[in-house]
Chains A and B, each alone.
Chain A
Amino acid sequence: MSARISATDVAKVARLARLDVTPAEIELMTLQLGGMLEHFADVDLLDLADVTPMTQPYPLTNVFRADEVRPCLDRDEVLAAAPAAEDGCFRVPPIGGEG
């Protein structure tokens, strides 16, 4: 069993990821994620103190488009792809248990 991640961690991460998992899945993922994180031991040996993190491969700066009204996706076409819609909006079950 890896020391890097516990079953409790895995259950917590599953909640953060909004992913229902069974006890059997938690057991398997604890093993597999732990195994994958073990490979990180190599990286832990590197001296990275003075290295700048690289977040994007090509240096571009953000640009803003002009704030003008433009054509956009058709609302009915977009809503037609949703599991549920009503009155021009996406319809979802109650939030936070409210009716």
Chain B
Amino acid sequence: MSRSTASDIAAAVRSGATTAAAVLEGHLAAIALREPEIHAFNLVLADAAREHAAAIDAQVAAGDDPGPLTGVTIALKDNMCTRGVDTTCSSKILEGWKPPYNATVVDTLRAAGAVIVGKTNLDEFAMGSSTENSAFGPTKNPHDTSRVPGGSSGGSAAAVAAGFSQVALGSDTGGSIRQPAAHCGVVGVKPTYGYVSRYGLVAFASSLDQIGPFTNSVHDAALLLNVIGGHDPLDSTSIPQQHPSLVDAIQQGVEGLRVGRITDLPEGADPDVQERLEAAFEALREQGATIVDVTVPAFTFGLTAYYLIAPAEASSNLARYDGVRYGMRVDAPDTNAMYGATRAAGFGEEVKRRIMLGTYALSAGYYDAYYGKALKVRRLIHDDFERAYQTADVLLTPTSPTVAFKFGEKSDNPFAMYLCDTYTIPSNLAGHPGMSVPFGTGAHGMPVGVQVLAGTLQEPVMFRVGAALERAVAK
């Protein structure tokens, strides 16, 4: 069942060929079987999902149309607010917190007929590339449980790969959708900054965060983005315009499109990953695309700029966890002592490291030397991409330099972990969209993802290329 497409499922439930309840039970059975081993979820919402599925079936029976995602199951990264339902960000500091409101995407999905099956595990506050930074234990890669699923949205990627839900949502600040998608062999999309509302997404780095889908197919990703994309008056950074249908866009092939190869891309991809990238170029050429060479000189500075800008924004955003308004508190005789003790007990090691780095980069005397310069580098990266997109419609890179690694392999060395995001980070800094499409397997039989990058709001052309890669794999 999990390999049907979301539109097939919605059509079958709408026509009465199956029920939302039956679709849901299929996924709950998969969860019962493998979730104890995988740990994709912080919370499975079986009762609420059954109730919602029954309501959808009643709507269909009454002749109503619940929407384009009728009966489609979805898992949500546990940094999206769900009213009255625990939202932890996989952090002890928010354990037990029940938000008093829904994220906009939660309301939009429900209004489209989707059934929320649970909240998925992540690296604490979305900071990490393996889910090893979760306060509630890591998620295992369904393809090999001795390996990480990637991160930070590892739970969402694993949930889709294991058939626990038809689709899932994650958030991507520096690669947190695309990298786990690549490691788990599913499609993952980070849309243009502002394409999807961030209202109710717990903020990590506000100028970089973006919500996007995990799916088994490019078509499902297009369908899901058609539903959740668009302007939201509650998010002042959401782009005030309607987006064209991506489902329509993927009907077109890639004949005549210019696919860019970045000749000065930072080295470091393993040979098995590089081999899949070359095969992807060849597959697109065979389908009528032209391969062109481009340079993006500032690409190589992405990692350095990101690891000042993202922690700087995080240190500011995470100041709100102070034991006053929500989450845990460690009692102390005065407020300052209470803040310090609460935050020391509530945050994990990686979150503390980034808060410290960000606070330092923003502090008096260092602001211009670090944060100010990083913002200038961000401009260089953006402008270099824009130049490249004058000669190429899309760019192709590996999503991650390696296949999914073993638990513990990089957890002692923060910088080695950060290198996982070398190829995904620059598009977050530029605000551009990117997607990872599964493209065969590499070392140890593990999935490899190829990344398609495009300019601002160029999702239609990016999806056409993604669909072409998928067709090549299917052959």
Contact = CB atoms under 8 A, between A and B. Distances in A.
Interface of A: 5, 9-10, 13-14, 16-21, 25, 29, 32-33, 35-37, 39-40, 42-44, 46, 48, 51-58, 60, 62-63, 65, 73-74, 77-78, 80-84, 90, 92-97
B22 interface: no
A55 B323 contact: no
B5 interface: no
A83 B207 contact: no
Interface of B: 97-101, 192-194, 207-208, 233, 236-237, 239-240, 300-301, 303-305, 307-308, 315, 319, 322-329, 331-341, 343-344, 347, 352-353, 355-357, 359-360, 363, 370, 372-380, 382, 414-415, 429-432, 456
B83 to A, nearest CB: 9
Contacts of B300: 42
Given A18-B336, A19-B356, 9 more contacts: A18-B319, A19-B344, A36-B307, A39-B307, A43-B305, A46-B301, A53-B379, A83-B328, A93-B331
User: Closest 9 CB pairs between A and B?
Assistant: A57-B431, A53-B375, A83-B329, A20-B344, A54-B379, A20-B340, A51-B376, A18-B339, A48-B376
Contacts of B239: 58, 60
Contact of A39 (B303, B327, B432): B303
A39 B370 CA distance: 11
A99 to B, nearest CB: 10
Contact of B360 (A20, A33, A52, A62): A33
Contact of A36 (B99, B193, B340, B357): B357
30 contacts: A9-B360, A13-B356, A17-B315, A18-B319, A20-B341, A29-B356, A33-B353, A36-B357, A37-B370, A39-B304, A39-B307, A40-B370, A46-B377, A48-B377, A48-B380, A51-B376, A51-B379, A52-B379, A54-B382, A54-B429, A57-B431, A57-B432, A58-B194, A58-B239, A73-B101, A83-B326, A83-B328, A90-B325, A95-B334, A96-B334
Query: Among A10, A40, A77, which residue has the most Cβ atoms of chain B within 10 A?
Result: A40
A73 B341 contact: no
B414 A20 contact: no
Nearest to B101: A73
A42 to B, nearest CB: 6
A74 B100 contact: yes
Main secondary structure of the interface of A (DSSP, over half): loop
A5 B415 CA distance: 17
B192 A58 contact: yes
Given A36-B414, A93-B338, A94-B333, A54 B237 contact: no
Nearest to A21: B344
Given A54-B379, A57-B431, A92-B338, A82 B325 contact: yes
Contact of B352 (A19, A37, A51, A78): A19
Contacts of A58: 192-194, 237, 239, 431, 456
Given A43-B305, A58-B192, A62-B236, A53 B341 contact: no
Given A29-B356, A39-B303, A60-B237, A19 B340 contact: yes
